[in-house]
Structure 1
Amino acid sequence: MSLPPDPTDRPQSARLPIVPTIMVALAVLAMIALGAWQLQRRAGKAEALALAAANPGRPAIAFPKLAPVDPAILFRPSSVHCLTVVQWQVEAGRAADGSSGYRHIAHCSTGAEGPGVLVAVGVGQKPDDKPAWTGGQVEGWISQEPDHRTLLTRMGGKASPLRPMLIARQAPPGLKPVAPPSAADLPNNHLAYAVQWFFFAAVAVIIYILALRRRNASNAA
């Protein structure tokens, strides 16, 4: 007389591969953790945006010399003295009158010692229009240099902090004044990043389940 089959004795094809399952589980957990981290950063970014929106109307303060820029002083009025222009940097930008063009950023020397300073002096229509400006005292608002860091570099913690930059209130001849800083210029896209990481985690789980089903079906055949 034959014994009934043991319900715990599953076919080999139905067993989960240990190493791949652990690797996928760790990857999914990491993506979920990154999504939760982005949600936490979203709350802090909202507070920084509210503070930055009110800063342009507050009293002037000393210009920060080192990176990173404290969010509490972002867009505060300030001034710097550009001893001489070392080089020019050209970026897409917007003028105070709403027109688009090329923002000319001066890399300035401030003396024999200490770091230099960046000044967005004005907006021109052509990228190769060299401003007729060699330096001097400049008043404006505290900002940050253009951010060309990749998302993966920033999330990996390997990105260098953005250097402070002054947005000049007045432009030299031949250029239009740069648009005053606004909190709208600081994107709060952490929610989108969080959704993206959660989506990646879900896709990874679905792909792994489909792969297991295909593997089991192949072994059963």
Structure 2
Amino acid sequence: MKRIPIVSTLIVLIAVGVMLRLGFWQLERLGEKEAMLARYEAAQATGGEVRWPEAPSTMQRALYHRSRLDCRAADTPTTLSGRSAKGEAGLAHVVTCIDAEGARRQVVLGWSRDPAAPAWSGGVVTGWIAPGPRLVADPPQAGLDANARPDPKDIPNNHLAYAVQWFFFAGVALVIYALALRKRLHERTPRQDGLQ
């Protein structure tokens, strides 16, 4: 009978170990994502206003809080597909807000079905800090309708599905290798067949 191939077995076991580690890592990320989403929902529920974070490292903690920007000027108007506060599909009107220090921030002025850029040259804007980052104006500006409020539930949380996939891949790899190994161990060489 043939012996178990050591190198092939080690390679398969290492690959399975890596897949299992990736599965457990996705479960860790699931817990982190759930905590982050709970933090975002709590921030939105308080409705308390925070300063616009200057450092990118502090932006994540500020998401879904209310904030304000003093836009001394506005340029590069553009539109993105968006939804109104009533759930209607249309366009979100976005401008680059330039503050007193010359920093450039993205501001979603409001929603409409009209793609034409509204006339808006700046001012104090209050609203919600959304991923991007951008400030979603609330109340809307430039005579536009209200955009849908940013919702943490829109952030995908598919880490559990990824974990299940990695565990499934590891299981499949073990089953396939076990079947191949079984076939190899049960095969006989021509010489052994001739002796029987």
Q: 2:121 aligns with which of 134, 138, 143?
A: 134
TM-score (norm 1): 0.69
Q: 1:32 aligns with which of 11, 17, 20?
A: 20
| Residue matched to 2:90 | 101
Segments of structure 1 that go 5 or more residues without pairing to the other structure are: 1-9, 146-163
* Counterpart check, 1:204 vs 2:173: yes
Secondary structure, in 3 states, of the residue corresponding to 1:47?
A: helix
Pair 1:132–1:205, CA change in 2 (3 A): farther
Segments of structure 2 that go 5 or more residues without pairing to the other structure are: 191-196
1:96-151 CA-to-partner distances (Å, cap 9, x unmatched) read 111122323323333565x421212222336x433333332210012211xxxxxx
Pair 1:134–1:194, CA change in 2 (3 A): farther
Secondary structure, in 3 states, of the residue corresponding to 1:139?
A: strand
| Residue matched to 2:150 | 181
Secondary structure, in 3 states, of the residue corresponding to 2:25?
A: helix
TM-score (norm 2): 0.76
Pair 1:196–1:140, CA change in 2 (3 A): same
Correspondence list, 1:65-144, <5 A: 65-111=54-100, 113=102, 115-125=103-113, 128-144=115-131
CA contact (8 A) 1:140 1:166 kept: yes
Length, aligned pairs only = 189
Paired with 1:129 and 1:215, the residues of 2 have a C-alpha distance of 70
Deviation at 1:218, TM superposition (A): 7.9
Secondary structure, in 3 states, of the residue corresponding to 1:30?
A: helix
* Counterpart check, 1:168 vs 2:128: no
Pair 1:16–1:179, CA change in 2 (3 A): same
Output the aligned Cα RMSD.
Answer: 3.0
> Which letter maps to 2:127?
G
Secondary structure, in 3 states, of the residue corresponding to 2:85?
A: coil
